[in-house]
Amino acid sequence: MNKKIRKTLFSEVVKEWLTTMKYNIEKSTYLGYESIVKNIIIPYFEKKKIYIEDITTSDLQKFYFSELDRGINVSTLKKRHIIIKPVLDYAIYVLKLRIDNPAIYIKFPKSKKFMHEILEPETLKFLLEKEKNNQIEMGIFLGGIYGLRRSEIIGLKWSSIDLVKNIFLVKDTVLRIKINGKLQIIERNYGKTDSSYRNFPIIPEFKNLLIRIKAKQDEDLKKKCYKKKYLEYIYRDGFGELVKPGYLSRKFKQILSKYNVKEVRFHDLRHTCATFLYQMGIPMKDIQNWLGHSSISTTMNIYTHLNFENKKLIGEKIDLLFKK
């Protein structure tokens, strides 16, 4: 009598893989994976009752098509794939399956190329002047002048500032991630080998801003209601609460509308910074280091956009020939 081989549901393997990843990746990355696995991948495959031994490229392709039908874009879809492919690698290794990973044959639709918007230097200066001494000022300054990410701006600590040597270090980030339906603050530190771990010179304008912020915080500390949980962080509101990442995006959008400035994302301040550096003749490798990109290709993607800006200038000069 042949012994019946017990098959394993793909959804069960996904759960097992997620458990193994808990202490092998950054907490913020794990929480992002956990959310996708529990809310999207497991519900779909549990319903389909697909076994790991039988799963095919077609099964995976149907899942991805169902996500596209729900309105998910290709970029987000690839984040699902970043989970599913290693799950299958794990299953093949642990269960000793004699199959190729079906995820390697997946074909994704071409995503639309996103064109970054930037602000002109005069516009950035205008916004900084108009919002001087307002809470959003530091966010605009660090985003547009230093090209810091939103999480890096909020994660900046007083201990990373040296006003004597005029240097500051970017090594901490703050994210807000939904865990079990509730938004929670997640702190992360860059390792010294991380490309995002970098130091910057404190230019006079930034030094002045920091001195103003410190003076205001010293005054705010006298309030009885002032919270002292986040004293190590620079970006706090008038009551001691850490400024939330979403605030930067919302408030930035509001002030652009207020001053009738074209709408760009807060993240586009990074691209604005990259554009300034490029137009000043800074080498691409130095721009990569300034922005904290892990690879030069990421920086070069911005370079493509910058080339187009140059082409527009050439086109305008050619057009002048016909107007003489």
Last residue of a domain, one of 78, 105, 132: 105
Tokens of 261: 């400035």
State which residues form the domain around 46: 10-105
Tell whether pTM > 0.85. no
Q: What is the pLDDT of residues 225-241, one digit of tens each?
A: 999 999 999 999 999 99
Unique residue bearing structure tokens 């299953």: 91
Specify the 3-state DSSP secondary structure of 195: coil
CA distance 193 to 286: 17
Domain co-membership, 97 together with 138: no
CA 70/CA 108 separation, integer angstroms = 16
CA–CA separation, 241 and 66 (whole Å): 41
Query: Per-residue pLDDT tens for 239-276?
Result: 999 998 889 999 999 999 999 999 999 999 998 998 88
Give the total number of structural domains in the chain: 2
pLDDT at 282 over 90: no
Domain identity same for 101 and 150:
no
Identify the DSSP state of 194.
S
Q: Are 147 and 270 within 8 A, CB to CB?
A: yes
Q: What is the pLDDT of residue 181?
A: 65
Amino acid symbol at 207: K
Beta-ladder partners of 170: 198
Tell me the average pLDDT across 88-115. Answer: 86
Q: Do the beta carbons of residue 299 and residue 284 sit within 8 Å? A: yes
Where b means 16+ CB within 10 Å and e means fewer, 193-218 reads eeebebebebeeebeebbeebeeebe
Q: CATH number for the domain including 271?
A: 1.10.443.10
Instruction: Indicate whether 39 and 127 sit together in one domain.
Output: no
Helix (H) or strand (E) holding 178: strand 172-179
Say if residues 174 and 149 touch (Cβ distance below 8 Å): no
Three-class secondary structure of residue 29 per DSSP? helix
Q: Indicate whether 272 belongs to any domain.
A: yes
Q: Give bridge partners of residue 183 from the DSSP assignment.
A: 178
How far is the C-alpha of 18 from the C-alpha of 38, rounded, in Å? 10
Out of 69-78, 142-151, 181-190, 286-295, give the one with best mean pLDDT.
142-151
Domain identity same for 92 and 142: no
14 lies in the same domain as 86: yes
- Do 292 and 217 lie in one domain? The reply is yes
Residue at which a domain ends, from 51, 70, 105: 105
Q: How do beta strands 161-162 and 182-189 pair?
A: unpaired
Measured distance CA(111)–CA(113) in Å, rounded: 6
Same domain for 38 and 154? no
The CATH number given to whatever domain includes residue 81 is 1.10.150.130
